[in-house]
């Protein structure tokens, strides 16, 4: 391999490159849409130059900037959560979506909308509604995590295969629950349900971001600090304990951070599949499984990918906006199968 | 200063796997544990490692109960080579060995790299440093894992170094020779001897009494969870004890020019009785 390419496997150059990629994705997201906006106007609207025309400014600040920020934060949260869960369970298929955490969070959020909406109107909750949704989502994520981790314990140790099967069941039940709520919901609530099932970066505005994003960002910053412990954990739980890792404490702490990240991400954008599965896998293929690099690199690539996917979702079929979860699953599914086929028979599955 | 099990009992589902077993491992010696399959050898090792807690009796490390040490303090003094490995992620061999340094006070990066590379050399897999671990053969993986556990207790802890030498360190090996060819079995135990000579107490679960005779200072023989022989290897491993342990006819053959007898098994010709 040529030296330039192989130097891109090293932590600093790779993170710089991925950082640039995320920046490019953000600029692309701000620039494209029904109204194409140039670089000068973007900078101007962000207060870094001559202020552009108020319509342009409002488009950037009220419509596109929140979406781009959501893309970066939620993409990073999903990718880092996926990488962390795969490390905790030493299984590259462990992903918050697959083990049911995302759908549990979504079910709780939908229940809060459909049932809580009626309740809130009668009680005159108003502003409290802004908190109700993320709280329900965190609660749903926590409950499913608790349920899944309890049910997947065999003889005191979490069994990865058991966990995926429990996740399968949880996903089915949550999907059914959301479908049931869709049946009793009406009008705008019904339309909102598509959002939860397939995700969208278009629903949350500044108020929602201000409430939920800090929690997600905090989890995003804290998870990568556990890279060395996660590396040791890949050897096995007993081996990690022999190396001096307090395994139970590490797992509890990471699961808490993951459910904060995932619960927050779902509250902001609904269920977006495959980012958590594919992004860490790509980084591992390119630069190996070292979590000290894997976690930050996944955050950058996840943010960049989701931002690009969102820009594509709202521009390819404009003025119709494709649900972003449909797009990520459409690309992610076949891509994942291709990866599995490529890796099969190499003696290493991941 | 020693790693010791005192009258430990361990039961699972009403079955007694270990019954009042005591064993003391001192720095500087190689101690072999022998016995049939299911005699409790690995259970004893896992109790000494702190993976399992005995229902009765106690395990202590340098005079303090094992559970009173923090995981990190324990990891700086004793390393454990498990019977099987399950690493499926694509670390390189040298990355796997570097994982062994998790709890160690970190040196400068060059020094850390030197320790990793010397540990790989000692285990006889220096040339595999950059190979991906999952692509290695079973025997190569076993030797990379051996390098990892040696790297973990590579040097005595600075704060426990005494006039008598380095601080105490212990290496627990669960069937370290299981997936190795004949030459590497001897290589592995020779390394264990070298390590013991530098002040490490080595405990090895072994199946081959010949390896125990050649490399172990002391031996513990288990039968159905009970100790049936313990002490200096040459004195304990008699023809009678080996026949009782393995349940087949044994002959100790003295070959010319060798101080050590060779254990030869004579299975019954008609049918093996397991």
For residue A132, pLDDT beyond 90: no
Compute the mean pLDDT over every residue in chain A, rounded to the nearest whole number: 85
Q: Which residues of B touch A246 (CB under 8 A)?
A: 71
Strands (E) across chain B are located at: 3-12, 15-25, 30-35, 56-61, 64-65, 78-81, 169-174, 200-205, 218-223, 226-232, 249-254, 261-266
pLDDT in tens, A18-58: 999 999 999 999 998 888 888 888 888 888 877 788 888 88
Q: Which residues of A touch B80 (CB under 8 A)?
A: 238-239, 242
Domain limits of chain A? 3-323
Asked if B88 and A346 come within 8 Å (Cβ–Cβ), the reply is no
Q: Given this model, what pLDDT does residue B37 score?
A: 92
Q: Given this model, what pLDDT does residue B244 score?
A: 92
Compute the mean pLDDT over every residue in chain B, rounded to the nearest whole number: 90
Band (pLDDT 50/70/90 cuts) for residue A129 is low
Comparing A216 with A146, which gets the higher pLDDT? A216
Asked if B99 and A289 come within 8 Å (Cβ–Cβ), the reply is no
Enter the ipTM.
0.91
Candidate ranges A61-65, A89-93, B57-61; pick with highest mean pLDDT:
B57-61
Comparing A159 with B61, which gets the higher pLDDT? B61
Measured CA to CA, the distance from residue A253 to residue A164 in angstroms comes to 21
B16 bridge partner residues: B11
Candidate ranges A101-105, A188-192, A321-325, B204-208; pick with highest mean pLDDT:
B204-208
A228 touches chain B (CB under 8 A): yes
Please tell me chain A's helix, strand, coil percentages from 3-state DSSP, rounded to the nearest 5: 75, 0, 20
Asked if B91 and A244 come within 8 Å (Cβ–Cβ), the reply is no
Beta-carbon contacts of B241 under 8 Å, excluding residues fewer than 6 positions away, are: B221, B228, B229
Band (pLDDT 50/70/90 cuts) for residue B163 is very low
Q: Which residues of A touch B72 (CB under 8 A)?
A: 244
A222 touches chain B (CB under 8 A): no
Band (pLDDT 50/70/90 cuts) for residue B157 is confident
- Please tell me the distance in Å from A338's CA to the nearest CA on chain B: 19
The pTM (predicted TM-score) of the whole model is 0.89
Residue with tokens 């690539």: A301
- The single-letter DSSP state of residue B167 is P
| Residue of chain A whose Cα is closest to the Cα of B48 | A242
Q: Are B9 and B16 in contact (CB under 8 A)?
A: yes
Report residue A198: phi and psi, to 5°: -115, 0
A49 touches chain B (CB under 8 A): no
| Residue of chain A whose Cα is closest to the Cα of B138 | A347
A287 touches chain B (CB under 8 A): no
Under CATH, which architecture does the A3-323 domain have? Orthogonal Bundle (1.10)
* Interface residue of B42, B45, B89 to substitute, partner A, most A CBs within 10 Å: B89
What angle, rounded to 10 degrees, do the helices at B109-122 and B138-152 form?
A: 130
Residue with tokens 């030197």: B114
Band (pLDDT 50/70/90 cuts) for residue B164 is very low
A239 touches chain B (CB under 8 A): yes
Count other Cβ atoms within 10 Å, centred on residue A45. 23
A231 touches chain B (CB under 8 A): yes
Measured CA to CA, the distance from residue A216 to residue A74 in angstroms comes to 8
Residue with tokens 């890792």: A245
Query: Can you list the domains of chain B with their CATH numbers?
Result: 3-229 (3.40.50.300), 238-274 (no CATH)
Q: Given this model, what pLDDT does residue A350 score?
A: 46
The average pLDDT across A262-268 equals 90
| Residue of chain A whose Cα is closest to the Cα of B71 | A244
Q: Which residues of B touch A245 (CB under 8 A)?
A: 71, 102
């Amino acid at each position: 391999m040529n030296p330039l390419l192989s130097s891109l496997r090293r932590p600093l150059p790779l993170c710089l490159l991925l950082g640039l990629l995320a920046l490019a994705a953000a600029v692309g997201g701000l620039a494209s849409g029904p109204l194409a906006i140039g670089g000068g106007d973007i900078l101007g609207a962000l207060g870094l130059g001559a202020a552009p025309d108020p319509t342009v400014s409002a488009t950037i600040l009220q419509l596109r900037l929140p979406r781009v920020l959501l893309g970066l934060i939620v993409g990073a949260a999903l990718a880092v959560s996926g990488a962390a869960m795969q490390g905790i369970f030493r299984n590259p298929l462990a992903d918050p979506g697959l083990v049911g955490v995302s759908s549990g969070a979504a079910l709780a959020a939908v229940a809060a909308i459909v049932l809580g909406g009626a309740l809130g109107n009668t009680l005159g909750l108003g502003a409290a509604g802004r908190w109700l949704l993320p709280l329900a989502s965190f609660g749903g994520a926590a409950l499913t995590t608790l349920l899944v981790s309890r049910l997947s314990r065999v003889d005191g140790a979490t069994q990865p295969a058991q966990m995926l099967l429990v996740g399968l069941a949880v996903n089915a039940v949550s999907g059914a629950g959301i479908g049931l709520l869709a049946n009793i919901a009406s009008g705008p609530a019904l339309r909102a349900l598509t959002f939860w099932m397939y995700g969208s970066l278009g629903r949350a505005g500044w108020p929602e971001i201000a409430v939920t994003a800090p929690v997600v960002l905090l989890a995003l910053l804290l998870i990568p600090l556990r890279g060395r412990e996660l590396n040791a954990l890949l050897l096995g739980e007993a081996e990690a304990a022999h190396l001096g890792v307090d395994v139970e404490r590490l797992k509890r702490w990471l699961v808490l951070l993951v459910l904060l990240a995932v619960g927050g991400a779902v509250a902001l954008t609904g269920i977006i599949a495959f980012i958590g599965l594919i992004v860490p896998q790509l980084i591992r293929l390119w630069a190996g499984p070292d979590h000290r690099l894997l976690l930050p690199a996944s955050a950058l690539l996840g943010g960049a990918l989701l931002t690009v996917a969102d820009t594509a979702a709202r521009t390819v079929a404009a003025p119709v906006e494709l649900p972003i979860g449909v797009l990520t699953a459409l690309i992610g599914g076949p891509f994942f199968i291709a990866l599995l086929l490529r890796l099969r028979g190499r003696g290493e599955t991941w | 200063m020693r790693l010791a099990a005192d009258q430990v009992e361990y039961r699972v589902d009403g079955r007694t796997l270990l019954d009042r077993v005591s064993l003391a491992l001192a720095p500087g010696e190689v101690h072999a544990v022998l016995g049939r399959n299911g005699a409790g050898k690995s259970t004893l090792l896992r109790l000494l490692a702190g993976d399992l807690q005995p229902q009765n009796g106690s395990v202590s490390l340098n005079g303090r109960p094992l559970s009173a040490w923090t995981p990190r303090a324990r990891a700086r003094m004793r390393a454990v080579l498990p019977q099987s490995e399950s690493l499926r992620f694509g670390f390189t061999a040298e990355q796997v060995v570097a994982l062994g340094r998790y709890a160690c006070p970190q040196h400068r990066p060059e020094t850390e790299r030197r320790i990793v590379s010397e540990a790989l050399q000692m285990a006889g897999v220096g040339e595999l440093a950059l190979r991906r671990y999952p692509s290695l053969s079973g025997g190569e993986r076993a030797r990379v894992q051996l390098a990892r556990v040696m790297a973990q207790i590579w040097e005595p802890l600075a704060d426990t170094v005494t006039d008598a030498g380095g601080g105490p360190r212990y290496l627990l090996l669960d069937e370290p020779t299981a997936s190795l060819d004949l030459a590497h079995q001897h290589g592995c135990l020779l390394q264990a001897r070298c390590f013991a000579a530098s002040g490490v107490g080595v405990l090895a679960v072994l199946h081959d009494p010949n390896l125990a005779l050649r490399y172990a200072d002391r031996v513990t023989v288990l039968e159905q969870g009970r100790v049936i022989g313990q002490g200096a290897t040459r004195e304990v491993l008699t023809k009678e004890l080996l026949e009782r342990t393995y349940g087949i006819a044994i002959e100790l053959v003295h070959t010319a020019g060798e101080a050590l007898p060779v254990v030869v098994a004579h299975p019954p010709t008609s049918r093996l009785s397991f």
